[in-house]
Amino acid sequence: MSVIVITGASSGIGAALAERVAAEGHRPVLVARRPDALDAVAARCGGRASVIAADVTRRDEVRRVVEATCADAGRIDVWVNNVGQGITRMPTALTEEDLDAMLRINVKAALYGMQEVLPVFRAQGGGQIVNVSSMLGRIPFAIPRTAYSAAKHFLNALTDGFRGELAETDPGIVVSLVSPGVVYTDFGRNALHGGADSRAFPNGQSAEEVASVIAEVIVSRRPDVYTRTGMQAQVAGRYAAVGSDP
């Protein structure tokens, strides 16, 4: 049984992942700001889940999650940085507040998680960080989501940097990146400044489908994974078609 901390666990991908890993016999620790919503998810986890209401955009709150989990469960095996928020605003209209919000929610929250759980993993001699990114972190194809795309590009670079550093200093600690495309959740409607319902877009996936990929990554410990076939080729094709050598 692994102890798996999941941020953004009150709905969507995080909630689906909690139910999935609980069904597999693991112990999910559900983290988000809304205790009532977390309790509802925990009720679907067969008595295996624990709940910690916290705002992971604050480092002190993340540290509290780490400390409370270790005090209760004795260890942390996997930390899933899943919290995130989109935005609907054209690039020419972006404000400093927009950019600050995207970085705080999509980058800083993940950075705090990675840094605060690291001493626990080092003491244990191993562990896994899973950062949930987005295809928009690979290809900025949705213009009103440009600031979100930029934040996810930042997260991807941060993930790669952590992976490279820890490969040299702490090879027992694995850092994985998972990139979904459109997911049929409330992500679109919850975007900063509002947005279209993600369920209205074609070629999407359910939260459960994405959760199954993340659950597989926890087992395989693969470093970089897309959530459906063809995404990697799409990214490669995009960048093969732009730019040129001198």
Q: Is residue 246 part of a domain?
A: no
Q: Is residue 245 part of a domain?
A: no
Q: Is residue 191 part of a domain?
A: yes
pLDDT of 242 > 80? The answer is no
pLDDT of 246 > 90? The answer is no
CATH of the domain at 216: 3.40.50.720
Q: Is residue 92 part of a domain?
A: yes
* Count of structural domains, the chain: 1
Each residue of 61-82: pLDDT tens digit?
999 999 999 999 999 999 999 9
Please indicate whether residue 148 is annotated as part of the active site: yes
Q: Is residue 84 part of a domain?
A: yes
Q: What is the span of the domain harbouring residue 92?
A: 3-240
Contacts 24+ apart (CB under 8 A), 52-60: 56/7, 56/8, 56/31, 56/83, 56/109, 56/112, 56/113, 57/83, 57/104, 57/105, 57/108, 57/109, 57/112, 58/112, 59/112, 59/116
Each residue of 86-143: pLDDT tens digit?
999 999 999 999 999 999 999 999 999 999 999 999 999 999 999 999 999 999 999 9
Q: Is residue 176 part of a domain?
A: yes
- Determine what percent of the chain is predicted with pLDDT higher than 70: 99
Q: Is residue 135 part of a domain?
A: yes
Each residue of 10-21: pLDDT tens digit?
999 999 999 999
| CB-side neighbour CA atoms (13 Å) of 107 | 19
Active site residue: 112, 148, 184, 226, which one? 148
